[in-house]
Structure 1
């Protein structure tokens, strides 16, 4: 805490300077604000069309704005910043000339508040971007000045005036003059016609176009100008031109697209018709109605025929086996037991039944008659007829089945011929159909886009809109008076603080006990404060004399040397008052004066004067012997020493002392003096050295120092 207070002492001491500097800084800032040209800012907010959300996302408005796209906001910002769009905006605004009322310190642009109107035509760009002077001397006459020219040319209002590179026409703004009763017309003016490049640079310098948020399609257009009306006019006009340009661009794009689509539709229609004819010719040539259906029908027919063929084959194989079985019997037909599964017609079944009946009857007859009997022979004849008929029937059935099988095989072969070359036909037809579908889709797509483009062409609307038009600003954005005044005050305060501490550390005085203890191991015996009232001096030094005795610095028959480093006046105050204090205690004090400053002030019985020049060549023993002789009748000896840095005998007297005191003045003694005394102590082994800090804790105000300096030099 003490360390913080010690650091803040220069601050508190220099507080008047800080306050004075802050006040001067504030006054200077206010003076600056009176002459600086203020800048005004106007802002317009523009909402971009978003085809993904909101009204434009509906189907109807999508058709109206078919060429709108969800471009990035950054792209639209760059469009707004483009020289093309800014140039279109400037073409609609009267910003190409500037008229100023000339003042002693600064000129003020008048814009629409000008009592004069100036028009000009130029045949050379050299006449542009120059600040011409104009002095109105009457309601009819003026004086024209070229830049940096003191010689003027007289002209008259309403008459063309020839200048280098063009002609200008100046006349009074009668309507404005009549509306302002106290308007001062006769005055000094300046005017300038701006080239397109300079005007663009001036706008781009103060134009700022940013998005409100990266995810919000709203753009903020800002412009700063020394004329508030100019800023509002420009940002509003730029937003308006942007929307108009968007509509015009959309119309041009739609119109161009409609023309292009019509040409493409005609071309696509021809290709589509050609493709239809190719398909028709190919189907007529190949007798194709519907390949998938025809192929499916033929495949079903062949499959059915193959099934019939398989069934017939099974029946044929069975009848062949039956016929072969009967043939192998060699006339023993009736002894066979054939499988008639392949021969199952009703007639054969009845014949077999009859044959079995006749066989049974024959067996019955053979029980009665012989085989030669007529009845038996009749039965045998019947059996033979039936058997022969059956065998022949089986053969005929086999032949019939074989014929059907052959015909069925031929029919299957004929049906399969329909698939010969079918993949190639399908391939060609697929190619033709693919071309047709491609041309048809292209034709339909182009017609849809043509309709969309015609809708977009006829719908001259845009969903970009100004949601917050700019207004004329009444308060300048720069300079901001409060901020400039505050900053000036802060800079003045910090500047003065830095200067105070620079001076403080550059002076590097002892200041306080902490500085002594930081730089030296020599102890501080006593610290004497700055005593303003003279009557308090005696009481204070009596206390210090007592403290010195209690601390062991004062001994019986002791020799105390009081010194300072640069000037004896720095320790004279302590020498004088300590001598008086010790005497007041009742001590017999011997005063040894090495400077002559106590001459005729002390009784000669208690005084030794070594300031005479004869002592400059004396040795230590001379001084020591004389002091010892005098000390026989005294209790204490105090040597008022020379300045250590200047006196030739200062170190000698310090070597004679039993206690050495070096006085340091907190306001005058340099910090490096402490180190110098420390080095002397180590080099000469001076006995019992201590410091006395004079004016301890004294931190005079700047006014006090200034007052003292003034008195010092005034007295001189």
Structure 2
């Protein structure tokens, strides 16, 4: 049983939903159309966005394969490719600035075509050269309007007074900013130098200006970078790959292509510059060492030759030669180790004495400890990042403070690593010195001349080896410098795409349609939720248990007039099912409040009953607000109040309408005490007299929700019809009427729904309940 009730309620709810949709169908359609039209306009005027992409391969430096013992080559080795670092380099302000230097992007050109804004880029029919531009004019819009083939109008417009911002500023609520005060409007010729305190421009015509108006503006370096950072996308094609995919989105497909190609060119250039700088540093170091060793070599060679000539010594013995060669080899190693210590000491001193570490080279420590090289590499990156951030922010900015903390941490780690490496090198140096000391003791046992010759020969051999080594390294470094290439390779260059990726215009319109339907339905159900009036017979039946005797549609035309007549006939038919009385039937017609049509229903019901040759009298008992006489177009000079106060007789207050065969008794003079007048015995006698003379007596009573007169008169009636008006009578009034009917069980109540709209709502409520089909257009098609 419960499940049946639940299913029944579910069906009713679904029916109510459908009826609500149909009730507000036009508002839903209009709202959906507005959203669709708005989304279509938005999709149309939104500029096309084009995408261009390129792929770049990051290759490892081949120098990594060199021998670990070759410390001079490793000293300036930057290591392999770090993909994450290179992605950040691609997005950096440093690289963007180098790329922008290869292009002319600061001036942007616009025009409007078919209500759509178009950026012209290199398709502009004129070119603007700015010799001087005040900072206030960056981002300000210049409007160029062609006058003829040789001249144009140039203007900078003030803030529109019709905008909210303009209104507030014009009335001094918000002060005007400096750049908002700049206004300009003058005519000029092409190629003419335009001088102004704020700018100096030269506008050259390239070809004919076909549109009515053009616009151009200038971007700052910061604005350019924000534009670049917003639209650039750099990603790995896969986790293990060293291939990067660069994508750029722009309103100009040509500019997107050129920016990507410029970014790769700038990336290659900065790599080559960095490597060339390292090679130059290496060559400088070698040249300084060569000068020192060359002087020593000449000096040791001269001393050796002078000693041989003076002492006429040709050479050493076999054992002395062997000992001397070994000692020369160890002393050469000691010299190389001292060079390493010098490099590390210089690096240690550089880190201690320099705050700006952007010039620090990373390769000079890799031969000692690869981990130290990684630390120096990270330190250089953080120092470069800090310099970039300081362009836009102060030292107190959180990002700058974070980078400063990273730099301090890295410097501490590098200093600790340097101390460890220097300690290890010094230990190895001391060991070599001990070995050299033993060989020196062996040489000391030789004869004096042979010992001196060994010493001079050894010094000469050491200097010669180091000099040859440095010459070899200088030649290698020079070759590397002359053959320096980038470690990146452009696999797929950017191309110009003719089809935009955005906006998805069909999708935007579809979303607009769906959103319009959602908003329309939401507003419909919201209106339904806040609408507290009854609209059809179903709601009447839900809210009260009073039986529904009739549904009267709105009377708008001839067709509806026939429907109204049939509705009253239905009520007349339903009256035949009332219990029969020996005397006449007394009908009281009331409503909850005024304006629900009870007087009209009383008059029309009297007319329709009179058509069956019944004697009918209708009484206007609304002694506070007379209105029945207007329905019959008669005067209201005398009536019920005059009769009850014995001023006039029944025949004098009775009016017979020949057209409808209905007798009417109006209110007459409005009495000061209508309730007391109705409660008199004269009223009872009056009704008894009418019962003897008429078949039907109809009372037009006051609204039952406002005064007590109606309740008094209902006690005289065989049935009391309560009138409710569709989309007018409140639901709580209907509930009150239901409570009233339950409290007065001695009275018979009936409900009449008035003013129902004809159509699906009326046809369903009336036709379904009574089966007459009066809501069907075909019923009156041939009548």
Q: Smaller-chain TM-score range?
A: 0.5 to 0.7
Unmatched segments (≥5 aa) in structure 2: 1-10, 159-181, 290-332, 340-425, 443-469, 622-627, 633-654, 762-783
The number of residues matched between the two structures is 528
- Is 1:42 aligned to residue 111 of structure 2? no
Q: 2:402 maps to which residue?
A: none
Q: Distance in 2 between matches of 1:515 and 1:610?
A: 34
For 2:87, which of 77, 97, 112 is the aligned residue? 77
- Is 1:565 aligned to residue 595 of structure 2? no
Deviation of 1:493 after TM superposition, in Å, equals: 3.7
For 2:657, which of 594, 601, 611 is the aligned residue? 601
For 2:668, which of 587, 608, 612 is the aligned residue? 612
Query: In 2 relative to 1, CA 536–514 (structure 1 residues): closer, same or farther, beyond 3 Å?
Result: closer
For 1:279, which of 435, 443, 446 is the aligned residue? 435
Q: 1:662 maps to which residue?
A: 722
For 2:224, which of 194, 199, 204 is the aligned residue? 199
Q: 1:162 maps to which residue?
A: 195
TM-score where L is the length of structure 1: 0.60
Query: In 2 relative to 1, CA 186–618 (structure 1 residues): closer, same or farther, beyond 3 Å?
Result: closer
Deviation of 1:674 after TM superposition, in Å, equals: 1.5
Larger radius of gyration between Structure 1 and Structure 2: 1
- Select between 89-98 and 248-257 the one with higher mean Cα deviation: 248-257
The answer (yes or no) to whether the contact 1:123–1:165 under 8 Å persists in 2 is yes
The answer (yes or no) to whether the contact 1:509–1:670 under 8 Å persists in 2 is yes
Q: Distance in 2 between matches of 1:567 and 1:581?
A: 23
Q: Distance in 2 between matches of 1:27 and 1:539?
A: 45
Secondary structure in 2 matching 1:508: coil
Secondary structure in 2 matching 1:3: helix
The answer (yes or no) to whether the contact 1:66–1:453 under 8 Å persists in 2 is no
Query: In 2 relative to 1, CA 68–250 (structure 1 residues): closer, same or farther, beyond 3 Å?
Result: farther
- Is 1:118 aligned to residue 123 of structure 2? no
Matches within 5 A, 1:383-398: none
Cα displacement string for residues 158-209 of structure 1 (whole angstroms, at most 9, x for unaligned residues): 4544332554333332xxx3xxxxx436965443333322322333344444
Query: In 2 relative to 1, CA 637–227 (structure 1 residues): closer, same or farther, beyond 3 Å?
Result: same
Q: Distance in 2 between matches of 1:605 and 1:89?
A: 101
Cα displacement string for residues 210-245 of structure 1 (whole angstroms, at most 9, x for unaligned residues): 555666655443433333322221123223323443
Matches within 5 A, 1:350-499: 460-462=484-486, 464-499=488-523
The answer (yes or no) to whether the contact 2:51–2:500 under 8 Å persists in 1 is no
Cα displacement string for residues 526-555 of structure 1 (whole angstroms, at most 9, x for unaligned residues): 3426384545655554544444554x5776
TM-score where L is the length of structure 2: 0.55
The answer (yes or no) to whether the contact 2:618–2:698 under 8 Å persists in 1 is yes
Q: Distance in 2 between matches of 1:205 and 1:231?
A: 13
Query: In 2 relative to 1, CA 102–279 (structure 1 residues): closer, same or farther, beyond 3 Å?
Result: same
Query: In 2 relative to 1, CA 28–459 (structure 1 residues): closer, same or farther, beyond 3 Å?
Result: same
Secondary structure in 1 matching 2:16: helix
For 1:19, which of 13, 29, 34 is the aligned residue? 29
The CA RMSD over aligned residues, in Å, is 5.0
Relative contact order higher in (CA < 8 Å, ≥ 6 apart): 1
Q: 1:232 maps to which residue?
A: 257
Secondary structure in 1 matching 2:202: strand
The answer (yes or no) to whether the contact 1:43–1:220 under 8 Å persists in 2 is no
The answer (yes or no) to whether the contact 2:690–2:697 under 8 Å persists in 1 is no
Secondary structure in 2 matching 1:644: coil
Q: Distance in 1 between matches of 2:491 and 2:586?
A: 97
Deviation of 1:474 after TM superposition, in Å, equals: 2.8
Q: 1:94 maps to which residue?
A: 104
Query: In 2 relative to 1, CA 100–3 (structure 1 residues): closer, same or farther, beyond 3 Å?
Result: closer
Q: 1:387 maps to which residue?
A: none
For 2:546, which of 515, 523, 539 is the aligned residue? 523
Secondary structure in 2 matching 1:687: coil
Deviation of 1:627 after TM superposition, in Å, equals: 1.5
Q: Distance in 1 between matches of 2:476 and 2:751?
A: 103
Q: 1:375 maps to which residue?
A: none
Secondary structure in 1 matching 2:104: coil
Unmatched segments (≥5 aa) in structure 1: 178-182, 287-445, 702-716
For 2:205, which of 157, 168, 172 is the aligned residue? 172
The answer (yes or no) to whether the contact 1:127–1:164 under 8 Å persists in 2 is no
